[in-house]
Every structure is written in structure tokens, then in C-alpha cells.
Amino acid sequence: MSLPRIAIDAMGGDEGVRVMIEGAALARRRHDQFKFLLVGDEARIKRALENHPNMAGASEILHCEDVVAGDEKPTQALRRAKTTSMGLAVNAVKMGDAGAAVSAGNTGALMAMSKLALRTMPGIDRPALAALLPTLEEHDVIMLDLGANTEADARNLVQFAIMGAAYSRVVNGFDRPRVRLLNIGTEEIKGTEALRDAAAQLQQASGLALQFDGFVESDKINRGEVDVVVTDGFSGNIALKAIEGAARFVTDLLRNAFTSSLRSKIGFLVSRPATELLKHHLDPNNHNGAVFLGLNGVVVKSHGSATAKGVANAVEVAARLLEDDITNRITQDLAELNETLWRGTNNGDSSAEDAE
């Protein structure tokens, strides 16, 4: 299938051009239909391309020397949106020169630029940042919002659920993903008013292409019992970093244990296949590629420290979203939600009139 080309912010990330080009080249070796608009310093990009002949006829370079710094405030970065590699990559999606943009740069700046350039979809109040997290099962769990919105009301949470379920159907292939709201308990009386109101609306909207299963606590996120976890960006970002920190703690603890003595080193050699499997499962590069859902265009955020393998996965996420037309899926689900809620309200009014 012929896909729109993908704009790559070649200057973003901890290592910049080398890793971003290497990752794009790896993605193209897996999918030879991919084409790219490489945004950044032309001389550096051309040098990087010398090692990847498979990119020669599949890439166009948009020269740009200005870069958004990792610690730059979003408001400052916005003023240079027309001159930075990140801003020009996003603008390429706006102008139709690319179908999607991928950047490993400053998350706040990328969110601000994307929202200003692409605007939110009709029916969506706020975009959300969604990412894939590993589980005990074969499929990943999608979690959103992870930091785009520090606060979210019931309406926002319902919209996040719609967008997360649509994303799950694309990347995991589920017809009706299991959706839950992150809460401090699973009982219906637990949580804030916004959480309880959002749960009531999702329970009422029975015609949606999702299965709402109530609330989930943070210790169950990675168990494989839920496909989409919905929360506000403040709680989501804290939960995400706690999960990532726990994963690093476990791997470091194992490393220290296996190097503490000669017997431990021998034990490591015996158990190496299992530890390698654990390392692979927890490697963030295998789940790289967070998505800004709810915009009029596809923007994917790669982790700043991602390897070429991680960047390739982020590029593939962008391609999947283009191929499956994620924006149209969300639009259709929003229409179904509005129709269901309107129908439910209408039925309730009729019953009240009959009672009178």
C-alpha cells in the first residue's frame, strides 16, 4: 500500500541525526514502501545517509539548522516554530507535504507546536498523549493521558477513552478493547466526581466499539487484564514514571545480585536465557512511539534516548496510524457516542413524561 511520506525531525533526541536516520532506514528495510521528508541540517543528514543506501531514492531533505533544545520552554519554542526542525516537520503535516511527523525532541514543545498547527479534531476538547506499555500477556496496554493535560473533567476522560480504544483497535487489532479508568479503587463510589461521571457516561454508551470495565488500580496496569487505561495527564505521568522506575529497579537489582559473587555469576550464566527475555520485554525501545491523539494529523513522539530500533518502532507506529486512518476512526466513534448519549437522554425524558 502506498502511504504518505513521514516527516522526520532529524535533529531531535539525545543523539540527533545519526540515530534518527538510522532508525528511519531500519524501518524502511522492514517496509520498503516507506518514504521520508528529513528535516534538519542538510550536510549532516547527507553524511548519515551515506551509510544507508536504501534511503537514497525514498527521502527528500528539508534544510534547517535551528533546533529546539531539550530544556526549552514550550512558549519559547513556539516563537521559532517556523525555523526549527521540529516545527517544520509538524508544519509539513499541516500543509499536506507529509502524512505524519516523528520527533524525539522536547515533548512539551512538540505538543504545543502540534496543537497550534494542526488544531484539535471536531468533537475533541483536548488532545492526549498515549503510549504502549508492556504487560504479562502478548499484547501491550495503551495508557493516556500521559502529560498533555494535568487536569481532565468527565467529558475529557470520555473522549480519551474513545481515542484510546480507536488506537487499540489499530495497533492491537481488538474489535472491542477493554477500557478502564485509573482510580484509587475499583468500587463505584471511589474516586473523584469527574471519574464517577465519566464512568456513568461510558456505561451508558453501550453501542461503542469498546468494552468499558469500570475502574483499575495502578498495580494492575501491566497485568494484561485491561487494554486501555484512561486518566488525566498528571496522574498518568506519575504512574508511567513509577512503572519505568520499577522496571529499572528490578533490572539493576538483578544485575547487582548476579555480580555479587562467583556463585551468583555462575547462576547468571544458567539463567541467562530467562534474564535476556526479561530484558527484551522491559526494553522501552520495543514499545517506543507515543502518539498525540485528537489532532487533525498524526504526530508521534519518540523517546529522546531511543536507539535506532526504538526510532524504527516509532516510525512504524506513525505508518500504522496512517494506514488505518486513525483520525476517521475517532470521528466515527465520537458520532456514535453522541448518538448513544442523545438517545439515552431522549428515552429518559420520554419516561419522565409518561410517568407524569
Which residue type is seen at 115? Answer: K
Check whether residue 144 and residue 284 sit in a common domain: yes
Q: How far apart are CA 89 and CA 82, in angstroms?
A: 10
Residue 336's pLDDT is: 78
Check whether residue 282 and residue 149 sit in a common domain: yes
Which residue type is seen at 255? Answer: R
Q: Is residue 332 part of a domain?
A: no
Q: Which residues of the chain fall short of a pLDDT of 50?
A: 1, 348-356
Q: Is residue 118 part of a domain?
A: yes
Say how many domains are in the chain: 2
Residue 112's pLDDT is: 92
Check whether residue 144 and residue 270 sit in a common domain: yes
Check whether residue 143 and residue 275 sit in a common domain: yes
The x, y and z cell numbers of residue 296, run together, are 487533525
Check whether residue 103 and residue 156 sit in a common domain: no
Check whether residue 135 and residue 263 sit in a common domain: yes
Q: Is residue 343 part of a domain?
A: no
Q: Is residue 342 part of a domain?
A: no
Q: Is residue 346 part of a domain?
A: no
Nearest in space to 301 (alpha carbons), one of 149, 84, 113: 113
Q: Angle, nearest 10°, between helix axes 308-323 and 17-30?
A: 50
Q: Is residue 35 part of a domain?
A: yes
Check whether residue 197 and residue 48 sit in a common domain: no
Residue 115's pLDDT is: 92
pLDDT over 70 for what percent of the chain?
86
Check whether residue 169 and residue 244 sit in a common domain: yes
Check whether residue 163 and residue 275 sit in a common domain: yes
Using an 8 Å Cβ cutoff, are 284 and 310 in contact?
A: yes
According to DSSP, the β-strands at 36-40 and 59-63 are parallel
* Residue linked to cell 533546533: 67
49 lies in which domain range? 1-124+294-324
Check whether residue 198 and residue 137 sit in a common domain: yes
Check whether residue 44 and residue 33 sit in a common domain: yes
Q: Is residue 330 part of a domain?
A: no
Check whether residue 118 and residue 134 sit in a common domain: no
CATH number at residue 118: 3.40.718.10
What is residue 164's three-state secondary structure? Answer: helix
Q: Is residue 231 part of a domain?
A: yes
Using an 8 Å Cβ cutoff, are 69 and 92 in contact?
A: no
Residue 356's pLDDT is: 34
Query: For residue 7, how far is the Cα from the chain centroid?
Result: 17
